Structure 1
Amino acid sequence: MNNKLISFVRDIYQTNDFIPLHAPTFAGNEKKYVTDTIDSTFVSSVGKYVEDFEKHIEFYTGTAKAVATVNGTAALHTALYMAGVKAGDLVITQALTFVATCNALYHMGAEPIFVDVSKVSLGLCPKATAEYLDANAKLNSDGECIHKKTGQHIKAIVPMHTFGHPVELDELLTVCLRWNIVLVEDAAESLGSFYKGKHTGTIGDFSAISFNGNKVITTGGGGMILCKSFDDGVHTRHITTTAKVPHPYEFYHDEPGFNYRLPNLNAALGCAQMEVLPEFLKQKRILAEQYKTLFSGSDFQFVAEPRYAQSNYWLNAIICPDTENRNSLLKETNKQGVMTRPIWQLMHRLPMFKNALKGDLTVSEWVEGHLINLPSSPVYLGVE
């Protein structure tokens, strides 16, 4: 399979050069809009492209309000802050995630509880979450969810839509409602993914999207907070711009805030990228189907979108028959200049989170030992 995969990828991308996992694609008005921003001199957080970019995202996702930030971690940090997460609180999330999910919690003084993922979505498992809460939580007289052992408030649940595949949101919402917990979606990887016809990030009260250079579209850096309530969105924008109260010349700030506003220069890039997003998604689905066909009938299982969802297929992935095959494929593909990657090391294995509370992580550990990501940049295949 090693050589077969390498030949397939090189044929798809039509090159013998190094093939990255996911490279940015600039196919539209990126240079025009960025040049326009430079010519205007409004390259920082004040400029028309920032609000235009937010409106693009609002229209595309259907969210009540979108707020642009400097990166995805800043977006998640703000989303958690707006959800009421405070220092000392506990937040349920998955151990199978990128470290930024947990870094946002750490810098708030909150602590993660790691719960297993589902084999259906590779994201937070509703059943495992419910079982953990049944065994370890209680509601106090004020209706707050409290961890029995530590006495800490379990404030939020943060599922991450792994590789763009939507988690089982209805089931997680049911858990949240039962335990009076806020749902905050880590939608960093899932722009262009839909759960039962609704865009990811619009189900929870707040969510965060990333526009890092390796995402479906990019602003270089950049992130976006999606707010289910318009009023919450107005407040979210206020606190991301240092909570400065508008005035012709005075500097007055009415609450602690963040300096998280996305620069106009980056937003210009994002506006151009949004214009070609539908084509990117079309080509990525074609690529996913070709990978699916390649691995059909083999011992390697292609990770397909859940039946209830439409995924953006941000990163294509396969499940190898065993860890030995995984390691062999990783070694040979990278040796020959085709970038493949294992999934992230589980968060509870990292030194800063080794003492975190956790449930049974059997599925997460199994996925960690079997999964490989494949080159997933969109390819122009001449499809009309």
Structure 2
Amino acid sequence: MHEQLIAAVRAIYGEEGFIPLHRPVFEGDEKAYLTDCVDSNFVSSVGARVTAFEERVADFVGARHAVATVNGTAALHAALVVAGVEPGDEVLTQALTFVATCNAVAYTGAEPVFVDVDEDTLGLSPEAVRRYLEAHADVGEGGACINRSTGRRIVACLPMHTFGHPVRIAELVAVCEDYGIPVVEDAAESLGSWVGEHHTGTFGRLGTLSFNGNKVITTGGGGMIVTDDDELAARARHLTTTAKAPHGYEFFHDELGFNYRMPNLNAALGCAQLDRLPDMLAAKREVARRYAEFFADRPEVLVSERAGTTANYWLNAVRLDSREERDALLAYTNEREVMTRPIWRLMTELPMYRHCWHDGLEVSRWLEERVVNLPSSVPDGWLT
């Protein structure tokens, strides 16, 4: 299968040279928008392109507000603070994720609690969360959810839409609502992914996006907080602008804030990328279709969008039969200049999170041993 897979990948991306996992595509007005930005002299965190980028992203995902940040991790950190996460609290999340998800929790001083994922979505399982809460949580006076084992508040639930495949987010929000726990969505990988007619990141109280260089569209480095809540949006904007009180010339900061706002240069790049987003998403779906065709009669299983959802197929992923098969595929492809990558190590295997509580993570461990990402960039010349 390995040789045939390489042939299938090269049929998409070219017969010669190194094929990366995911690279940005600049086939629009990026240079022109950047030049306009430089000519305007507004290149830092104030400028027309920042406002335009925020408005366009909010419109695309269907949120009332969008607040641009320097990167997706900063967006997630600020969103958790805005949601009310404080030192000593607990946040329910998944161990099968990129480290930034858990780092953002740790930045607040809170403790991640790791709950298992669903096999088909690779994301946080509503049933696993329900089982955890039924076994460990009580709703106390004032509506606070308390872990009866630790005495700590459970103040947020943080699912991640893995590789652009939406978790069962409506079901997860419903479970958390029964316990008064706000959901903050890590939608870093899922720009262009939908559940029905609703975009990922818009189901919880807040959601976050990433525009890193390896995402569907990029601002070089950048992120976004999205929400429908006017007060949360205003607080997010305030906190990410060093908590500076509005004034024509005085400098007064009324609480501990963060220098997290996106520069105008990055937003200019993002605006040009947004111009091509529909074409990029269509191209990525065609890449996924070709992979699905290749794996249709093979024992390996391509991770595909489930009924009622639309995935952006940011990174295509295949499930192998065993860790041995996974490792053999990784070695064979990478030695031949076709980049493939294993899914992340579980957060519970990293030194800084090894002490955190988890529910056994049976499905997460099974997936960790079997999932491989395939090249998923928009191919050269595919944008119309």
Q: Do the two structures share a fold, i.e. TM-score over 0.5?
A: yes
The aligned residue for residue 177 of structure 1 is 177
* Counterpart residue identity of residue 138, structure 1: D
Instruction: Give the 3-state SS of the residue equivalent to 1:209 in structure 2.
Output: strand
The aligned residue for residue 110 of structure 1 is 110
The aligned residue for residue 250 of structure 1 is 250
Within 5 Å, give how 1:369-380 maps onto structure 2.
Answer: 369-379=369-379
The aligned residue for residue 55 of structure 2 is 55
- 2: distance between equivalents of 1:123 and 1:228? 23
The aligned residue for residue 335 of structure 2 is 335
Q: Is the CA contact (8 Å cut-off) linking 2:70 and 2:261 kept in structure 1?
A: yes
The aligned residue for residue 145 of structure 1 is 145
Select between 124-133 and 373-382 the one with higher mean Cα deviation: 373-382
The aligned residue for residue 123 of structure 1 is 123
* Counterpart residue identity of residue 22, structure 1: H
The aligned residue for residue 17 of structure 1 is 17
Alignment deviations for residues 326-368 of structure 1 (CA, whole Å, 9 cap, x no partner):
1110000000000000000000010100010111211000000
- 1: distance between equivalents of 2:145 and 2:246? 38
- 1:66 maps onto 2:66 in alignment: yes
- 1: distance between equivalents of 2:251 and 2:351? 42
* Counterpart residue identity of residue 41, structure 2: T
How far does residue 31 in structure 1 lie from its aligned partner after superposition? 0.6
Instruction: Give the 3-state SS of the residue equivalent to 1:357 in structure 2.
Output: coil
- 1:87 maps onto 2:87 in alignment: yes
Q: Is the CA contact (8 Å cut-off) linking 2:120 and 2:303 kept in structure 1?
A: no
The aligned residue for residue 303 of structure 1 is 303
* Counterpart residue identity of residue 339, structure 1: M
Q: Is the CA contact (8 Å cut-off) linking 2:122 and 2:167 kept in structure 1?
A: yes
How far does residue 36 in structure 1 lie from its aligned partner after superposition? 1.3
How far does residue 383 in structure 1 lie from its aligned partner after superposition? 8.0
- 1:75 maps onto 2:50 in alignment: no
Instruction: Give the 3-state SS of the residue equivalent to 2:183 in structure 1.
Output: strand
The aligned residue for residue 190 of structure 2 is 190
- 2: distance between equivalents of 1:162 and 1:54? 23
* Counterpart residue identity of residue 76, structure 1: L
Select between 30-39 and 97-106 the one with higher mean Cα deviation: 30-39
The 1:337–1:116 alpha-carbon spacing in structure 2 relative to 1, beyond 3 Å, is same
The aligned residue for residue 205 of structure 1 is 205
Select between 324-333 and 7-16 the one with higher mean Cα deviation: 7-16
Alignment deviations for residues 297-344 of structure 1 (CA, whole Å, 9 cap, x no partner):
101101001112100000000001111111110000000000000000
Alignment deviations for residues 174-195 of structure 1 (CA, whole Å, 9 cap, x no partner):
1111111010000000000001
- 2: distance between equivalents of 1:33 and 1:12? 30
How far does residue 142 in structure 1 lie from its aligned partner after superposition? 2.2
- 1: distance between equivalents of 2:222 and 2:383? 30
* Counterpart residue identity of residue 320, structure 1: L
Within 5 Å, give how 1:227-376 maps onto structure 2.
Answer: 227-376=227-376
Q: Is the CA contact (8 Å cut-off) linking 2:280 and 2:383 kept in structure 1?
A: no
- 1: distance between equivalents of 2:383 and 2:211? 26
How far does residue 231 in structure 1 lie from its aligned partner after superposition? 2.9
* Counterpart residue identity of residue 5, structure 1: L
Instruction: Give the 3-state SS of the residue equivalent to 1:182 in structure 2.
Output: coil
How far does residue 40 in structure 1 lie from its aligned partner after superposition? 1.8
Alignment deviations for residues 218-245 of structure 1 (CA, whole Å, 9 cap, x no partner):
0000000001212321221111111212
Identity fraction in percent: 54
How far does residue 261 in structure 1 lie from its aligned partner after superposition? 0.4
* Counterpart residue identity of residue 310, structure 2: Q
Alignment deviations for residues 88-140 of structure 1 (CA, whole Å, 9 cap, x no partner):
00000000000000001111110000000001211000000100111111111
How far does residue 143 in structure 1 lie from its aligned partner after superposition? 2.0
The 1:92–1:373 alpha-carbon spacing in structure 2 relative to 1, beyond 3 Å, is same
Instruction: Give the 3-state SS of the residue equivalent to 1:20 in structure 2.
Output: coil
Q: Is the CA contact (8 Å cut-off) linking 1:283 and 1:380 kept in structure 2?
A: no
How far does residue 19 in structure 1 lie from its aligned partner after superposition? 0.5
- 1: distance between equivalents of 2:341 and 2:382? 28
Alignment deviations for residues 7-29 of structure 1 (CA, whole Å, 9 cap, x no partner):
11112112411010000000101
Structure 2 unpaired stretches of 5+? none
- 2: distance between equivalents of 1:35 and 1:123? 40
